[in-house]
Structure formats: C-alpha cells, structure tokens
Amino acid sequence: MTGRLRHWITEIRRRRAAKACILMYHRVAAEECDPWDLCVSPQRFEDQLRSLARDYRVVALTELLAEHLSQRLSDGTVAITFDDGYADNLQAAAPLLVRNGLPATFFVTSGAIGSQREFWWDRLERCLLVAGQLPDRLQISAAGSEQSWDLGSAKVGFDPSVRGAKPWEADPTTRLGFFYEIWKYLRGLDEVAREQALAAVEQWSGTGHQTRPTHRILSAEEVRELAGLPGMTIGAHSVSHATLSACDASVQRLEIRRSKEDLQHLLGRRVPMFAYPFGDFGPETPGMVREAGFDGACIADPGAVWVDTDPFQLPRVAVLDWDAAEFARQLSRARQ
C-alpha cells in the first residue's frame, strides 16, 4: 500500500469515527491587555458552559480517557481543562462550572502554588506592554552571557485596545514584536537565569515587581478547596512550567515526577493526568510521563480525540473569548 493510499484510508476512518473534544482554558477574567488570548470573560464563559450543557455530553477528563482506551468513546463528548493555576480558576471559573453541573480538570504548575509573584510571562507583559515609554536600550546579563536590544520605534508604548494582534506575528520594530523577542529569550533560559533576567527587566522598565491581584496564582489552600468542589480535579503541569524539550532528560523527569508527587502530597489523592507546559515536548517526553505513573497527557495542538489518538498526546481546542455562536462553530470545526 502506498503512503498516499494509507493516508486516505486513515483520513476516511477519521472522518467517520466518533470524536470527543478536550477544551483548553487558562483564565476566566476580563483583561484589557491579554497578548496570549488567555482570558475568557465570565459572561462569555457562562454562555459557553450553557451551550456545552445543552448540546454536548460533558464528562471528566479521566472519564473521557477511560472511554477512549476502552474504545467506547461516544460522539460529541467534551472534557473541560484549565492550564497553569491562576486564582481566578477558583474564584471565577469554578462557581460557574458548579452552577452548570459541569466537571473540569485544572492543570496546576506545582512550583508556583502560593507564589507571591505573577507567572513570568505576566511579569514580562506588565514590564513591556502595560508600561508606557521605555528607555532606548535593554541590556541583560544572565546565564553567563550578555544580550542587548535597541528598542528604536518600540520605545513608544503599546496600545492594548488594539485587539487581535498576535506577538508571534508582530513586526519586530513594534513594542509587541519587542515583547515577543524578550519572551523567546526568557523562555530559553533556565529558572534561575530567567529570574535574574526578569528582575533586570523590571528594574529597567521602572515597573517594579508588585503582584496584580487579578494575576494571582492559587495558594495551596485554594488548590485543596478547588479539588474539594464537585466535579473538579487537579492535574499536573510540571514544577516550573518548563519548556521540556529544551531540558536534559534528568530535568524533564524531575519536572514531571515531582509535580505529580507534590500535588498528590498536597491533595492526599492520586493525580492521574498531565499537561505539557506550552504544549511543548520532545520525542522522549511522553514516555517519561507514562513512566512517572500518569494515565494520559494533554498537548496544546488543536484537534479531536478519536480511536487512533495517543493517550499521551491528547489534542485540545484552545477556547478564546468567543460568543456562543462562534463557540459552537469552533467546536463543530474541531470535530470534523
């Protein structure tokens, strides 16, 4: 059989197969500045939940996985997930989920629990996008080397009311493009070097390092409270939100294993699911997640779960701040 023929047979099987969708949220909040589209407003979230309750069969992620593994997956099944561990997951998302009787899994970055600081990408956003005029040149010494950037026209502030601009599509001479350059640089550093570099950016931008209440991370007590609500479960999302493919094998194993152990210790129950930070993983990573004792893992690539889906590479639909009509359109597109 030729490769092309095999591809078409798989494609026909896929189109006819029963499919389930895993939804990926991050925050339920209304932020003016949201470069990574992490926020769904409380009103829109409630509208989306109502349409899920009406038109789909929403189950816990572990139940979706069990049905998938036993080939009992029924068409139109949906599971809801949240990544990172923002405090608004408990304050804003969970009450709406409970009120609508819908279960959800929250993938929590275990090392960030109770942090008095924001996630590093939020701190960077505050320094470079919320801030107004910035100095001409940024110079950072971290990880034993020095880097510098001339801001040029990016000195002028960013207008967060300009919606739809994506950091990865932005012109590098703009503030958003400059933000993306520094984001990529920080993402490539290890945790210690990143903290050092970020502290330098905070000082340079003059924005300091106060934590915005809106961007707060769940405390240990709040993670327990979330796990105690009906239908809510906690999953692991590494210790430090590491870019796993860039880490040595030993560091990857530690990030995966320790996030599971720490959460299990905190909750006093098994944590069966993992989500790759940034949706990023190397060829060996899914095997490490399996060896660490997880039952399955979510990626961040779009798509539906069907009979051929690897349980350690479960695709997810990233939900944006869509109204009910757009939400329905996107879900039906994902299941094609």
Q: Which is nearer to Zn ion, 138 or 275 (CB)?
A: 275
Residue 34 is a binding residue for Zn ion (CB under 5 A):
no
Residue 125 is a binding residue for Zn ion (CB under 5 A):
no
Stretch near Zn ion under the rule CB under 5 A, chosen from 161-169, 193-201, 228-236, 275-283: 275-283
Stretch near Zn ion under the rule CB under 5 A, chosen from 94-102, 134-142, 270-278, 303-311: 270-278
Of 34, 46, 84, 122, which one interacts with Zn ion (CB under 5 A)?
A: 84
Q: Which is nearer to Zn ion, 277 or 303 (CB)?
A: 277
Stretch near Zn ion under the rule CB under 5 A, chosen from 31-39, 131-139, 254-262, 272-280: 272-280
Q: What is the 3-state secondary structure (H, E, C) of the chain?
A: CCHHHHHHHHHHHHHHCCCEEEEEECEECCCCCCCCCCEECHHHHHHHHHHHHHHCEECCHHHHHHHHHCCCCCCCEEEEEEEECECHHHHHHHHHHHHCCCCEEEEECHHHCCCCCCCHHHHHHHHHHHCCCCCCEEEEEECCEEEEEECHHHHCCCCCCCCCCCHHHCCCCCHHHHHHHHHHHHHCCCHHHHHHHHHHHHHHHCCCCCCCHHHCECCHHHHHHHHHCCCEEEEECCCCCCCHHHCCHHHHHHHHHHHHHHHHHHHCCCCCEEECHHHCCCCCHHHHHHHCCCCEEECCCCCCECCCCCCCCECCEECCCCCHHHHHHHHHHHCC
Q: Which is nearer to Zn ion, 300 or 324 (CB)?
A: 300
Q: Which residue is nearest to Zn ion (CB)?
A: 83
Residue 255 is a binding residue for Zn ion (CB under 5 A):
no
Q: Which is nearer to Zn ion, 111 or 277 (CB)?
A: 277
Stretch near Zn ion under the rule CB under 5 A, chosen from 49-57, 222-230, 277-285, 312-320: 277-285
Q: Which is nearer to Zn ion, 83 or 321 (CB)?
A: 83
Of 46, 83, 122, 202, which one interacts with Zn ion (CB under 5 A)?
A: 83
The residues that touch Zn ion, with contacts defined as CB under 5 A, are: 83-84, 277
